[in-house]
Amino acid sequence: MSTRAVAHFVRDDMRGITFRPGDTVVVMPLTGEYEPSGLDWSQKQVAKIIESGTTDGITIADMPVILLTTLGAKSGKLRKIALMRVEHNGEYALVASLGGAPKNPVWYYNVKENPLVELQDGSVTKDYQAREVIGDEKATWWDRAVEAYPPYAEYQTKTDRQIPVFVLTPVS
């Protein structure tokens, strides 16, 4: 018989904590001061989603997006960014491509430091546990990501780094 850990946290208490399958975690919603992106195009996308209350109709390169909310790794402030929608059976992939740039996007470090995130798809917002995937699992999710947004394949050819992929699992 397995023992399940039950934990209640406010997100700020969760830095550096790793959860195992079978752990039950009750998480309070993300709280804190929101700090918009320094990128004008990102601010505009996020503002449209917040104003409309949905990601429906908001696109990048005519492809659907989700809204990711993280805690800043350095600032501890709420950060929001629209990312490509890659969903499979209620889980989501986050692809840290930065268009094939030689470095990871800033949000990658936020998710690594604070893996409990909030994701909005359409008008539905839920809490998720993020984990970076490798090996066969990464290959499976990479294929799904390229199917959802074909330019990811080109982005990988433009950089020497392996583009990281996170999988988000709902937190109940």
Going along the chain from its start, the domains and CATH numbers come out as: 33-170 (2.30.110.10)
- Indicate whether 128 pLDDT > 50: yes
- Cα gap 63→52, rounded to integer Å: 18
Query: Are 91 and 148 contacting, i.e. CB atoms less than 8 angstroms apart?
Result: no
The reported pTM is 0.82
- Indicate whether 70 pLDDT > 90: yes
Task: List, for residues 80-109, the tens digit of each pLDDT value.
Answer: 999 999 999 999 999 999 999 999 999 999
Q: How many CB atoms lie within 10 A of CB 17?
A: 13
If you average pLDDT over residues 140-162, what whole number do you get?
97
> Which of 130, 147, 151, 127 has its CA nearest to residue 139?
147
pLDDT for the residue 30: 77
Task: List, for residues 1-15, the tens digit of each pLDDT value.
Answer: 333 343 444 444 455
pLDDT for the residue 9: 44
- Indicate whether 55 pLDDT > 80: yes
Q: Please indicate whether residue 30 or residue 44 has the higher confidence score (pLDDT).
A: 44
Nearest 5°: phi and psi at 71? -95, 130
pLDDT for the residue 2: 36
If you average pLDDT over residues 41-68, what whole number do you get?
93
If you average pLDDT over residues 49-54, what whole number do you get?
94
Which of 16-25, 50-59, 76-85, 129-138 has the lowest average pLDDT? Answer: 16-25
